Structure formats: C-alpha cells, structure tokens
Amino acid sequence: MGKASDIASLPRGVYAFQESHLTSQGIRKFKQELTWRKSGYNLCHGFPAPPKFDSVRTIGGRHTGTGILSAYPCRALDHHWTKEQFQSGRCQVAAAFVQDRWITCGTVYGFSERSHCLDVQQNTGRLLDGLTSRVVDGAHGLRVVTGDWNQERQNLHQADYWESKGWMEAQQFAQRRWSTPAMATCRRTTIKDYMFLSPEIQPYVVDIQLDWSLFSDHTVLQVYLADLGKPPPVPMWRKPAHIDWQSKPKHTLEWPHHARQSPNTDEWYRNIWHNVENYASALSVINDGPRLAHSQTGRASTTEVKWTQEQATPLRSNRRGDIQSAISVGSMQYNRWTRQIRRLQHFARCAGSPGSPTVDEHRACLWGKIIQAPGFPGGFRMWWAQHPKMFADTPCMLPCAPPGAEVANAIFLEFNKVYKTVEQSLIQAKSIHASQRGSKTLCRSTETCQEREREREREQSQFRPLWLRKTLGSCTPMKLMKKPHKSNLPHHSRKGCKTYRLVMLKPMSKLWMNINFWSQHQWRTSFLRPSKSVELKQTALPSCMSLKKNGRRDGKNTMTRVMNTGK
C-alpha cells in the first residue's frame, strides 16, 4: 500500500510485480488508490496473499502475491497451473493490448526460503513449467516471461528449453546487442530476477535499463520497445488439421464415389484427397460425430505461401457458472466457437427471463451477434442448416427473429454437443504433439548426457599416470576390496595405517581400489590429509608403491593390494 504515487511516476507501460503482500482487502484498497491518484493503470492480480494475522482488519499479507500492472487494456488469462499452485499466490498470466498488438505476460515468484535445497528448486521449477506450457508453447506473438525466481541461472533447466526456442534473457540480449555487462538484480550481489523475451518481441527492443531508486533489495528491470504498429505480414503455408479417425467405428460406410480423373496431375491429386475428406466427413456423421471443420480440409490445395496479418485475440477467463472450456490455448477457429457457445448460453438464460423493453433490446442485439458470428462457412444460419442434428427437438433452421426459451435452449444444447466433440479432437491432437515434442526433448537430453559423460572420461584420463594407464588397460574390472589384514603388512608399518579410496574410470566399467598408506615421513607429503577420500585426478602413487593383481585367473573376486616394495 502507498505505492500508487511511485507507480504513477513510472514510464507508461506494462509491469509485472511479485511479493506484493496484497490480501483480498489489500487488492480492493490498492485499486481505489490507483483510481484516486489517476495513475491510469489497470491491475490484473493473481490469487490473494494469505493474511499475516487472523484479524478481520488485516490488510497486509504474507510474502506472496503476483500480478500485472498495465497502462493499457489488460485481461487475465486461463492458466495451466494446478489449483494448489495457483492458490499459493506465486503465479499469474495476463495479456495487454498495446498499440493494436496483444502482449502475453507471465510472471512467477519463486520460493525464497531454503532456495538452495533440491525440493525448493523443484517446487519453483513446477511453477516455471506452467509458464512453459501456457506462454512459451501455448501462446503466439509477442510474449514475455519474467519474475523473481530466487534461483541462479544454472538451476533453471526450463530456461535452457526456452533458449532453444529462440527466447533470450533481457540482460543477455543487451550484452549481445550493445556489449552491456550483466548486473546484479538481487541485493546488488546476485542475479535472481529475469525477463525472457520471445523471438517476436526482440526486434522491437531499443533499450534495457535497471532502476534501483524504488526498492532497496531488488531492481526494476525495464525493457523499452519501439512503436509496434500493425502486425507484420507473416508467411503462412496452410496445413490442414489432423482428421480424427475412429479406431473402431460403430457403423461402416459404403463409399461408391471415386476421384475424378484429369489430365492435369495436380488436379487429379487434389481430387483424390477431396474424395478422402468427403468420406471422412460422412463417416464421422453416421457415427454421431461432427462434419470435418474447415481447418481439417484442403489437402493438396496449397501451392504457394500466403502473407497474412492474422492475430488471434486471447480468450477471457472462464466465469463462474458459465460453460468451461477444457483448453485455454487453441486456434482462431476454436476461439470463435468458444465465444459463440458463450453467447448461446447467455441468450438461453435471457430468453427465459421476464420481458421488458431493456431485456427485449438486449435479446435482439445478442441474437444478431449470434447470427453474424464469424468462423462458420456461409454464416451461422447456413452452417446450421447443413449440420446433421443429434437431438429430436433441435430446429432444422434458425429463425431471423429471436426465438423463445425452449428453442433457444435446444439450440444451445445442440451446439454444445458439437463444441465438446471438436474440443476433444483438439485435446487429442495437442497430446500427440506434446508427446512428440517430449520424445525429441528426451532424445536431445540423452545425447547431451552421453556427450558430457564422454567428455568427463576424457578429462579424467588426462590425469592418469602413464604406468596406471597401462595397468588399467590390461586389468579386468575389479570389485571393491576389503581392508587388508595388518598381518600382511610389514611389522614397522602396522601402526598408523590409513585407507584411501580411489575411483578409477575404465571404458565400459569402473575400477574401485582401497590403498593403504603407511604414515612414514617420506610419504606423508605426497598425499592429502589422512582419513580423507581422494580421487585419482587429485593425487598419484609415490614411486615406492606399486599395484599388484591378486586373485583367480578368470577374474572373479579379483582384488588389488598395495604392497610395500621398499627401497
């Protein structure tokens, strides 16, 4: 609280904040404070922080709370976090409409207590995984991922995947563009505040600054953008969507039609696929499924790249009591159908309410939007007439005037059935794409681990003495040796015997040995301190000690013993 004057003095833009301590009452009063100061900022907050005390008048909360402050129109988006993760008050996703362009912003506040522990790093990583699926892979266009993650860069493996997709951290971008060295963002000692920029927004970056004037422990990382203007033309090669072929259809279909032959091979090939798509659409209809959507047709019809300025407007979050969309990220066609199902549900409720001049006017305007909704070939009325009906009381044609309550409810139920079927097909296609992407990532990570293992073996082999390389080359893999009995040692060396364990790598195997060190003065300076386990690359045997193989000829139960050869 009390930061509205500082926020009003900031340059006009979009800001993500973490650790706001804003409870439910604090959020309400903070919005009032922004309005009274005429700051012009809109607040898209995450889940409220839990109160610090049990008092009803408590405004301050615990060390959580995230959100987006925007001087432009802004809306919260559906997220991919679980209920428990979102209610922790450490994550939020929103979209701001800046100069006719949508910028998707995601922010996460990492766990700060015991941040060096593995379980805390994994909890922060799960929050970042939500940003990966919702913003990095699930959104398009201008995108930003930022926050105070309370972790250093080497502990963030999610950032490695983002960088493989072309994303870049703001200070790293400044270092490459203007040779500006990266500076500490947390208590002027470490870098724990990050801002990753998508490849689409990087060409608009003109300056990056760090401001320490507002907060003492964290800096404000500011990225300045040039004028965005209209979306640039994007080359689009139209690729039809996947056809959901049923593995075991209830009904089969006899298809007497054949592709029309043509002397032009391109046209003949196009006719073959057009015949296949017609068969798939008819087979889906007789099995109580929808016809193929426009995005699923058009195979062998694309012959050149088309430059478009397509930009999908993000959907608003699902309201309580309304129909809930199963996926938050889809195509433009899915976004249009989601808006249409929401209109039909709202119209069914309005049709059953008592009539009045205001209600009748609203009902007529809403029905006009339903009839003129985009996303349906030939208009919604034409699409409805050609669509096969699944319920008996569904009207065959849509009236021009607003229908009554029963007809409106029947229209909503019919379209809801088609909408859910299309939604399930999109979920299935999305899961297939995710599994393919996961298999590629797993193969890439496996190759990286194998390459690191080979590099580690090469580095450790450089530290082996020449006599030990020859010995290891002729020895079979040996098991861990027990401590030799003191009776096997010389009488003057039994006292003060110390055991050292060396791990020696060998191709396709590991060789473990225990080496006994007799604490004589001439040997004491050649080793590290006694009672410490040392690795092979850290020490070497003195010239008065040698390796001797002892055991059976077949190599079983083979042991290595260090004997005193004397001088």
Query: 68, 97 in Cβ contact below 8 A?
Result: no
Q: Check whether 550 has a pLDDT greater than 60.
A: no
Which has the higher per-residue pLDDT, 458 or 22? 22
pLDDT in tens, 167-206: 999 999 999 999 999 999 998 899 999 999 999 999 999 9
pLDDT in tens, 240-254: 888 888 878 888 888
How buried is residue 5: exposed, middle or buried, by Cβ count under 10 Å (0-12/13-18/19+)?
exposed
513 close to 504: Cβ distance less than 8 angstroms: yes
pTM: 0.67
CA dihedral 375, 381, 382, 383 (to 10 degrees): 50
- Collect all residues with Cβ–Cβ distance below 8 Å to 368 and sequence separation of at least 6: none
Average pLDDT over residues 409-428: 86
How confident is the model over 331-386, as pLDDT tens digits? 778 888 899 999 999 999 998 888 888 999 999 999 999 999 988 888 899 989 88
The model's pLDDT over 487-537, given as tens digits with 9 standing for 90+, comes to: 443 444 444 444 444 433 333 333 334 444 443 333 333 333 333 333 333
Mean pLDDT of 540-561: 37
The per-residue pLDDT for 462 is 52
> Mean pLDDT for the chain?
77
pLDDT score recorded for residue 434: 65
d(CA 106, CA 137): 12
Token pair of 206, please?
């003109």
| Residue 146 scores a pLDDT above 70 | yes
Are 47 and 18 in contact by the 8 Å Cβ rule? The answer is no
Other Cβ atoms less than 10 A from the Cβ of 540: the count is 15
Is residue 298 predicted with pLDDT exceeding 60? Answer: yes
286: tokens are: 């007789």
| CATH superfamily, with its number, for domain 4-234 | Endonuclease/exonuclease/phosphatase (3.60.10.10)
Residue 209 φ then ψ, to 5°: -135, 155
The rounded distance, in Å, linking the Cα atoms of 115 and 163 is 23
Q: Are 296 and 421 in contact (CB under 8 A)?
A: no
Q: What is the pLDDT of residue 441?
A: 56
What pLDDT is stored for residue 294 in this prediction?
79
- Identify the CA nearest to 48 among candidates 34, 32, 60: 60
Strand partners, 505: 510
Domain ranges of the chain: 4-234, 235-306, 466-564
